[in-house]
Amino acid sequence: MSDAKNTIMNGKAVLGIELGSTRIKAVLVDEKNTPIASGAHDWENRLENGIWTYALEDVWAGLQDCYRKMTEDVKKQYGVTVEKLGAIGFSAMMHGYLAFNKKGELLVPFRTWRNTITQQASEALTEAFQFHVPQRWSIAHLYQAILNGEAHVPDVDYITTLDGYIHWQLTGERVVGVGSASGMFPIDSHTRTYYASMIDKFNQLTAPKGYPWKVEEILPKVLVAGDQAGILSAEGAKLLDPTGTLQAGCPLCPPEGDAGTGMAATNSVKQRTGNVSAGTSVFAMLVLEKELQKVYEEIDMVTTPSGDAVAMVHCNNCTSDLNAWVNLFKEFAESFGIKADMDQLFGTLYRKALEGDKDCGGLLAYNYFSGEHITGFEEGRPLFVRMPDSKFSLANFMRTHLYTSLGALKVGMDILMKEEHAVIDRITGHGGLFKTKGVGQSILAGAMGAAVSVMKTAGEGGAWGIALLASYMIQKEEDETLEDYLQEKVFGGEEGEKMEPAPEDVQGFDAFIRRYQAGFPIERAAVDSMR
């Protein structure tokens, strides 16, 4: 307690803040990277004029509330005030499109990762670059705006991500971390910046339009983990802490996307390691030891915070439908006058799934609240279907919904594992799916056919991950890599609780996924028929 108090009073504590899709979280860490205080603010995206967005007013209100709650936690625990910090790092959900003019004014509402409105641009750029450019990426949004003939495009002076925007406002620096940049424009892992040949290709594509900018002029500068990315300005300090208590002058690390902070928080930045983040959406990342043989629409190429190549399988849907069914069971229980504790309800139903048949007894479900590009759906319809003679039990029902929460992910990961023969030494699971001990972990191990670890610290999430990157910036020794820093000084060799896949679980998931893929016409009929 006294050590943490002294760290805060001496201005040595490090702050990490991550803006997730439903929660903004702040984590304050000491000089040993142990979390000592936190704060959180819940928020939601809005669908406005067919675009998923967050208002910038909500960004700042959320950040300020989150920071204030962290300082209140400090005051309550240690009786001191946060006046100075050792370093700060900002992270946010990756991708999307924030475009500004020369005056720093937002030209169109923030277009988030959740929008699937850039298919034409995604296909055209993938063809031009011979590199998969997903619909979520900033460059796909920009090119789609060009193809649409949108009036704001000639006025663009800067495009960035949400984490890059916040960092810019607090420091004046137009930079992003390489991991965040890899969700904007393709990154060359040899040069640790944008592919020069693809920059040239994009400028050739847009040259006939006669815009007053070239793409390299409007993209942020790329930095890698360990680089100093600017200093908290007086205006920035007041933006974060309107009370004026926080002093300016502390260094900031490169702003990173949630993929990079997830890698840091799970010690998954080394080659042949990977992690799966499973919550509202789900994505898997594997740090590659060799380049993929070809371009796959299902696989995104991003990087670690140091710039190493990462294969990413990103799916829009994970636990939303599962949560909806659990809430239905809650309503059922309350109809009988039983007050349901949600943690107990989730735990009971998740554990029940382990009693089910390995192939789910012939049941089938799709958890598509929104479209799922990996399986070719531009819209989603949550769906549960069975044969008259399927084994319809609670255990099989719950197992089916746990399986299908990883169904689209399994389709993408099978490409890496079975076609590219990627080698995985360790996969780490984190996120809400793994909260019930041993359940999500065993399901994922069966889906991957690989050992899965879950760390005690994984619950700290991306806010802790970006705090680690900020600490690395100010603590690293000369030539100390991020991998070594995390392995030796943060995790101390700890790899969490490891679970090997049971052969029958692997066979059961494979049988389910064959049924899952064969049933796509059912989901297609639901999308086409239910309007």
Judging by DSSP bridges, how do beta strands 14-19 and 87-92 pair with one another?
parallel
For residue 492, what are its two tokens? Answer: 């101390």
The CATH number of the domain covering residues in 2-257: 3.30.420.40
Single-letter amino acid, residue 108: V
Average pLDDT over residues 49-62: 96
Checking if the pLDDT of 457 tops 90, the result is no
Mean pLDDT of the chain: 94
Instruction: Please state, in angstroms and rounded to a whole number, the distance separating the CA atoms of residues 509 and 104.
Output: 50
Single-letter amino acid, residue 103: K
Q: What pLDDT score was predicted for residue 460?
A: 64
Q: What pLDDT score was predicted for residue 492?
A: 84
Instruction: Please state, in angstroms and rounded to a whole number, the distance separating the CA atoms of residues 499 and 504.
Output: 14
Q: Which CATH number fits the domain 259-318+409-500, given the four candidates 3.30.420.40, 3.40.50.800, 3.40.50.300, 2.60.40.1510?
A: 3.30.420.40
Q: What pLDDT score was predicted for residue 455?
A: 80
Band (pLDDT 50/70/90 cuts) for residue 290 is: confident
Q: What pLDDT score was predicted for residue 244?
A: 97
Single-letter amino acid, residue 130: Q
The number of beta carbons lying within 10 Å of the beta carbon of residue 259 is 29
Q: What phi and psi values does residue 265 have, to the nearest 5 degrees?
A: -70, -20
Angle between helices 342-353 and 394-405 (to 10 degrees): 90
Torsion, CA 334, CA 339, CA 345, CA 348, rounded to 10: -100
Instruction: Please state, in angstroms and rounded to a whole number, the distance separating the CA atoms of residues 200 and 128.
Output: 11
Instruction: Please state, in angstroms and rounded to a whole number, the distance separating the CA atoms of residues 188 and 166.
Output: 25
Checking if the pLDDT of 458 tops 60, the result is no
Among 216, 229, 199, 202, which residue's Cα sits nearest to residue 305? 229
Pick the range with the lowest mean pLDDT from 308-322, 399-413, 482-496, 498-512.
Answer: 482-496
Q: Which string of DSSP letters, residue by residue, matches 281-318?
A: SEEEEEE-SS--SS--TT-EEEE-TT--EEEEEEES-S
Q: What pLDDT score was predicted for residue 1?
A: 66
Single-letter amino acid, residue 271: Q
pLDDT tens column, 147-205: 999 999 999 999 999 999 999 999 999 999 999 999 999 999 999 999 999 999 999 99
φ/ψ region of 391 (left if φ > 0, alpha if ψ in -120 to 50, else beta) reads: beta
- Supply the DSSP symbol for 465: H
Single-letter amino acid, residue 292: L
Q: Let me know if the fold of 2-257 is the same as that of 259-318+409-500.
A: yes
pLDDT tens column, 249-259: 999 999 999 98
- Of 136 and 159, the one with more pLDDT: 159
Checking if the pLDDT of 388 tops 90, the result is yes
What are the structural domain ranges in the chain?
2-257, 259-318+409-500, 320-400+504-529
Pick the range with the lowest mean pLDDT from 67-76, 257-266, 400-409.
Answer: 257-266
Average pLDDT over residues 202-214: 97
Q: What pLDDT score was predicted for residue 358?
A: 97
Which are the contacts of 123, defined by CB distance < 8 A and separation ≥ 6?
A: none
Checking if the pLDDT of 81 tops 60, the result is yes
Checking if the pLDDT of 340 tops 90, the result is no
Average pLDDT over residues 340-365: 96
Q: What pLDDT score was predicted for residue 518?
A: 98
Q: Say what percent of the chain tops pLDDT 90.
A: 85
How many degrees, rounded to 5, is the angle at CA 162 between CA 128 and CA 25?
135
Q: What pLDDT score was predicted for residue 461?
A: 80
Q: In whole angstroms, how large is the CA radius of gyration of the chain?
A: 23
Band (pLDDT 50/70/90 cuts) for residue 459 is: low
Q: What pLDDT score was predicted for residue 423?
A: 87
Instruction: Please state, in angstroms and rounded to a whole number, the distance separating the CA atoms of residues 331 and 350.
Output: 17
Q: Is the pTM of this model over 0.75?
A: yes
